[in-house]
Amino acid sequence: MTYQKGQYSGPQEQADAITRESDPRVKAGLSHLEEVGEALYHDNFKGLDEIIKKMRAEIKVLIPFIKKDVYINQNIKDEKIIEETLDNLLNIYQVGYGEKEFKELNDYYSTINLEFSKKYEEFFNELNQEE
């Protein structure tokens, strides 16, 4: 039998470690450390949900303007402008918006630069795999 929680080399060290970890005082100490760690985690991320909700609401308001930009950019041949818009749409997509607009603009971009359009499609697919 190999004891895996600690770095103990022999049977006696393993037995001592198991005995220490079954001690109620050690268990209470470990439990307290877990509670402290959990409290620190919650304190550090307090309000994060509200920030995300606010950001999503602000992006939702911007969607009509973004759609307008996408349609305008479909008449533009300047790759830099199209790529900036695609980059922005990828960023927005990470919070749940802009998928349709991204796909439409990237389809148009494929008529201008197929190689880079495929790269954008790969970036988009990578974002979907992370979820």
pLDDT at 103 over 80: yes
Give percent of the chain with pLDDT exceeding 70: 63
> Domain check: are 53 and 117 in the same one?
yes
pLDDT at residue 2, rounded to an integer: 46
Are residues 105 and 60 both part of a single domain? yes
Rounded to an integer, the average pLDDT of 70-92 is: 83
Q: What confidence tens digit (pLDDT) does each residue in 14-59 have?
A: 555 555 556 666 666 666 667 766 676 666 666 777 777 787 788 7
Q: Is 56 helix (H, G, I), strand (E, B) or coil?
A: helix
* Within-domain flag for 30: yes
The answer to whether position 55 is within a domain reads yes
Boundaries of domain holding 89: 49-130
pLDDT given at position 30:
63
Ramachandran quadrant class, 78 (left: phi over 0; alpha: psi -120 to 50; beta: rest): beta
Here the tokens at position 111 are: 């008529």
Same domain, 82 and 126: yes
SS3 97: coil
Q: For residue 80, with 0-12 CB atoms within 10 Å meaning exposed, 13-18 middle and 19 or more buried, which class applies?
A: exposed
Same domain membership, residue 57 and residue 30: no
117, 110 Cβ separation under 8 angstroms: yes
Answer whether residue 35 is part of any domain: yes
Residues 87 and 27 in one domain: no
Instruction: Tally the domains of the chain.
Output: 2
